[in-house]
């Protein structure tokens, strides 16, 4: 296997790139992040929130200023270490250090006490997860009724697929088949999943309703808004 197609698990990938992750944020990325903040604040004006897959903590200061309690969950140890540096002055930020894998959550085995008013999953966190049916099932365990999940995802609409990807991806989307691609950095990659809008709606429908889909202008992202039933 050559360096150009060397694939590793997603957590290992972000452990490897944690120290330099923030330096890769462009002005466009920052604008997209600001759009997510505005949306999250509109739907979740107060309460307890979860920064799900929070990376190096780029959203932490903003969240800690606006919400009563912020839980931070990031499975990459090295990314989480960077986030700890950000949160040194934040007395209302609580890092999930154990029971981090949502696949292990149950009514008797939750990562923290209390129900959330909102969950933020910024910058394509959901695209790192293959089985989103289980994801929504587990998030429902920690979300209060009528709370919101706000997720920034790779826009997998047919318009974007035609523009950015191959015809094979378009056909797979039309056939409702899973689309996998590689997120590559310096010859090392991890698998990314392009879930279509109807796949998100179907995966969430037992516990959440997909109430809005908002493409972010001049980007390859869209914001999805789910409300807990």
Burial degree of 71 (CB within 10 A; 0-12, 13-18, 19+)? buried
Q: 3-class DSSP state for residue 164?
A: helix
pLDDT per position in the chain (229 positions), as tens?
344 568 999 999 999 999 999 999 999 999 999 999 999 999 999 999 999 999 999 999 999 999 999 999 999 999 999 999 999 999 999 999 999 999 999 999 999 999 999 999 999 999 999 999 999 999 999 999 999 999 999 999 999 999 999 899 999 999 888 999 999 998 999 999 999 999 999 999 999 999 999 999 999 999 999 999 9
> How confident is the model at residue 2, as a pLDDT?
40
pTM for the model stands at 0.96
Task: Classify strands 143-154 and 116-121 as parallel, antiparallel or unpaired.
Answer: parallel
Cα(192)–Cα(206) distance, integer angstroms: 24
CATH number of the domain within which 133 lies: 3.40.50.150
DSSP 104-151: G-BTTB-SSSS-EEEEEE-TTSGGG-S-HHHHHHHHHHHEEEEEEEEE
> How confident is the model at residue 94, as a pLDDT?
98
The range of the structural domain enclosing residue 7 comes to: 3-228
Whether the Cβ atoms of residue 200 and residue 213 lie closer than 8 Å to each other: no
> How confident is the model at residue 186, as a pLDDT?
86
> How confident is the model at residue 139, as a pLDDT?
98
Cα(162)–Cα(82) distance, integer angstroms: 37
Q: How many domains does the chain have?
A: 1
Nearest to 81 by CA among 17, 18, 128, 23: 18
Cα(211)–Cα(201) distance, integer angstroms: 9
Cα(201)–Cα(156) distance, integer angstroms: 13
């Amino acid at each position: 296997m050559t360096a150009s197609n060397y694939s590793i698990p997603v957590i290992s990938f972000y452990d490897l790139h944690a120290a330099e992750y923030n330096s890769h944020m462009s002005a466009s990325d920052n604008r997209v992040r600001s759009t997510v903040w505005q949306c999250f604040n509109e739907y979740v004006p107060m309460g307890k929130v979860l920064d799900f897959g929070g990376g190096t903590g780029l959203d932490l200061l903003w969240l800690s200023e606006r919400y009563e309690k912020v839980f931070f969950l990031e499975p990459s140890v090295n990314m989480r270490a960077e986030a700890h540096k950000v949160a040194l002055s934040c007395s209302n930020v609580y890092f999930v250090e154990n029971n981090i894998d949502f696949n292990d959550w149950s009514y008797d085995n939750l990562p923290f006490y209390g129900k959330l008013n909102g969950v933020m999953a910024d910058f394509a966190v959901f695209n790192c997860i293959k089985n989103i049916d289980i994801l929504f099932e587990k998030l429902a365990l920690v979300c209060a009724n009528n709370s919101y999940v706000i997720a920034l995802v790779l826009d997998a609409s047919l318009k974007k697929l035609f523009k950015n990807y191959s015809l094979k991806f378009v056909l797979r989307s039309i056939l409702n088949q899973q689309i996998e691609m590689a997120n590559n950095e310096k010859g090392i990659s991890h698998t990314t999943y392009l879930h279509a809008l109807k796949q998100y709606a179907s995966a969430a429908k037992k516990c959440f309703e997909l109430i809005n889909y908002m493409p972010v202008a001049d980007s390859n992202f869209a914001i999805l808004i789910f409300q807990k039933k």
